[in-house]
């Protein structure tokens, strides 16, 4: 029997990067997977590819976590086969810009707070009651090492990830008498389109972020996420902080050359 045979997993922000890798790892482990992201076109291709590769059912749903009504619709209109969600992976999130607070773009702050904090809360609020009712659940939040030490020019992003840590800790307390687990995964430098998004498409700037070092890959994170979901049901992994070997904190990094 595969590790998570028959479980249903809902993953936000799953058209690429860590979200997509998680979808593949959970599908490989025998789960039914719902992948959500804002544009359905690419997502449906991703769903098809993963389903063909793993043999598990994968369903794509249009999901804008910043839009409360859309979140409700997306969860409530799932096909019956996918509607009982056992594991929620709150992965949708982003960084926008690297500026001092005094120079910051307020629209960027709103987008980060709306996505990383409020979006995570909307999905969690929609899905956790069903987990409690059915007597099984696991919320896995993708936080960041940015939650542990703030870094210059990153105050708002770091604050949103600190919020993810405290929402995880608070939720764990709120469901302590229920069979629902809460895990916060805090990755450091991971090579996805994270930096391209942060620098608003400036590939030159984005590629420099990983100069002279070997970052984590989305697969590295998905492997850990899957592990935290695979341990026996009485075992709850609160938090995993993971960085490349050459990174000690958000800004203590060793580069070759």
Query: Residue count at the site for ligand 8X3 (CB under 6 A)?
Result: 6
**Contact in structure between 242 and 188 (CB atoms under 8 Å):** yes
* Residue 119 or 188 having the CB closest to ligand 8X3: 188
Per-residue x/- track, 183-202, ligand 8X3 (CB under 6 A): -----xx-------------
Instruction: Determine the number of helices (DSSP H) and then strands (DSSP E) in the chain.
Output: 9, 9
Identify each DSSP E strand in the chain by its residue range: 8-12, 32-37, 58-62, 87-90, 137-142, 180-187, 239-242, 247-249, 252-253
Which residue, judged by CB position, is nearest to ligand 8X3 in the bound state? 144
Assess 215 for contact with ligand 8X3 (CB under 6 A). Answer: no
* Residue 27 or 185 having the CB closest to ligand 8X3: 185
Helix (H) or strand (E) holding 162: helix 155-174
- Euclidean distance between CA atoms 218 and 238, whole angstroms: 20
* Residue 36 or 250 having the CB closest to ligand 8X3: 250
Shortest separation between residue 188's beta carbon and ligand 8X3, angstroms? 5
Assess 167 for contact with ligand 8X3 (CB under 6 A). Answer: no
Q: Can 157 be counted among the known catalytic residues?
A: yes
Identify which of 62, 16, 6, 11 has the alpha carbon closest to the alpha carbon of residue 34. 11
Which is the catalytic residue, given 25, 122, 136, 157?
157
Q: Computed over its alpha carbons, how large is the radius of gyration of the chain?
A: 18
Residues 97-156 interacting with ligand 8X3 (rule: CB under 6 A) = 144-146
- Is 75 in a helix, a strand, or coil? helix
* Residue 136 or 199 having the CB closest to ligand 8X3: 199
Bridge-based pairing of strands 137-142 and 32-37 is unpaired
Residues with a catalytic annotation lie at 157
Interface residue list for ligand 8X3 (CB under 6 A): 144-146, 188-189, 250
């Amino acid at each position: 029997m595969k590790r998570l045979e028959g479980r249903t997993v809902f993953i936000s922000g799953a058209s690429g990067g860590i979200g997509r890798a998680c979808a593949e790892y959970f599908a490989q482990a025998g789960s039914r997977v719902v992948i959500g992201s804002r544009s359905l076109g690419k997502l449906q291709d991703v769903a098809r590819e993963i389903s063909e590769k793993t043999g598990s059912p994968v369903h794509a749903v249009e999901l804008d976590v910043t839009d409360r009504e859309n979140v409700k619709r997306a969860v409530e209109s799932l096909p019956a086969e996918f509607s009982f969600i056992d594991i929620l992976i709150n992965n949708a999130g982003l960084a926008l810009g690297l500026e001092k607070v005094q120079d910051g773009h307020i629209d960027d702050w709103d987008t980060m707070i709306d996505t990383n904090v409020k979006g995570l809360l909307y999905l969690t609020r929609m899905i956790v009651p069903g987990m409690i009712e059915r007597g099984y659940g696991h919320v896995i939040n993708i936080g960041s090492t940015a939650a542990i030490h703030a870094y210059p020019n990153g105050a708002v992003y770091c604050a949103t990830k600190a919020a993810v840590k405290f929402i995880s800790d608070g939720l764990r307390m709120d469901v302590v008498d229920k069979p629902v687990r809460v895990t916060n995964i805090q990755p450091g430098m991971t090579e996805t389109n994270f930096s391209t998004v942060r620098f608003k498409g400036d590939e030159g700037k984005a590629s420099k972020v990983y100069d002279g070092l070997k970052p984590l890959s989305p697969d590295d994170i998905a492997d850990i996420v899957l592990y935290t979901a695979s341990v026996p049901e009485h075992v709850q992994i609160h938090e995993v902080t993971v960085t490349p070997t050459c990174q000690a904190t958000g800004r203590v990094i060793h580069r070759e050359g």
